[in-house]
Amino acid sequence: MNNRPDREGTGRTRGRLIVLVGPSAVGKSTVVAKVCAAMPDVYFSVSATTRDPRPGEVDGRDYHFVSAADFDKMIAADELLEWAEIHGGLQRSGTPIAPVLAALEAGKPVLVEVDLVGARNVVARLPEAVTVFLAPPSWDELVSRLTGRATETPEAVERRLATARTEMAAQDEFDHVIVNSEVDRAADQLVSLLVGPEQPAASAT
């Protein structure tokens, strides 16, 4: 489906695109950090967002912080692989397509983290994408993690749980499901998928 030879005759193979989805509190950020540490050449897509930076966030590293007007221009210019409205349209977030395509053409593995709708949109745009769902060990474990967040209001937790139910029900849509019962093991599985079946997988330790 990917790792196809470059048609210009350079002998370079096209990178492998992995689209990662998982419910809130499943541990996506921790697993992604492990993967990036194990694979220095991986391109992890940085989303564009219209929300304000939070304390400690760095533009270009955590997100590309843009104005609503600039986001409109990105949509009009077809510069986003996928995008979505958040919190009833108060904010918008999306995946810039140019760096993703550039990394793929350079033969780099690419990791994109999006929500369920975003994953469907990425696959519609780039059918070679391999979709991965990061699942909790159990529903009860996910509920425990979410309710244990001191920063979340009960209403916010309930919204996240409702979204998680929808996401969990859609697992069969994905090419692979990784259960995050142990972070290093989950990261190792994701590394193997990024590397692809034709090459030896790196260790994620």
Binding residue ranges for ATP: 22-29
Please give the annotated binding residues, written as ranges. Answer: 22-29
As beta bridge partners, residue 63 has 59
Asked if 151 and 57 count as a contact pair (C-beta separation under 8 A), the reply is no
CA distances from 76 to 69, 79, 80 (A): 11, 8, 9
CA distances from 150 to 81, 139, 142, 144, 154 (A): 34, 19, 15, 12, 10
